[in-house]
Amino acid sequence: MLPARAYDVFVDCFERGLLIRVTGDIIAFSPPLIAEKSHIEDIVSMLGDALKRVQ
């Protein structure tokens, strides 16, 4: 069972179109196979925003 905050971060990202996997303190990205630099920046920004919202 995931900790409540980890699950909340997963749901927050999923609702915004970002699929992540969470196991304990580890967050794994599931990015598209082809990504541009701007896509990576968007992914990191989206995760950072989700972490701030869940705290």
pLDDT at 3 (0 to 100): 66
CA pair distance 29, 26, nearest whole angstrom: 10
Give the architecture (CATH level 2) of 4-54.
Alpha-Beta Complex (3.90)
Segments making up each domain of the chain, as ranges:
4-54
pLDDT at 44 (0 to 100): 92
Q: What's the pLDDT tens digit per position in 11-47?
A: 999 999 998 988 877 888 876 678 888 988 999 999 9
pLDDT band at 52 (very low <50, low <70, confident <90, very high): very high
pLDDT at 31 (0 to 100): 66
Closest CA to 29 of 5, 8, 52, 39: 39
Task: Count CA within 13 A, CB hemisphere, residue 23.
Answer: 3
pLDDT at 42 (0 to 100): 92
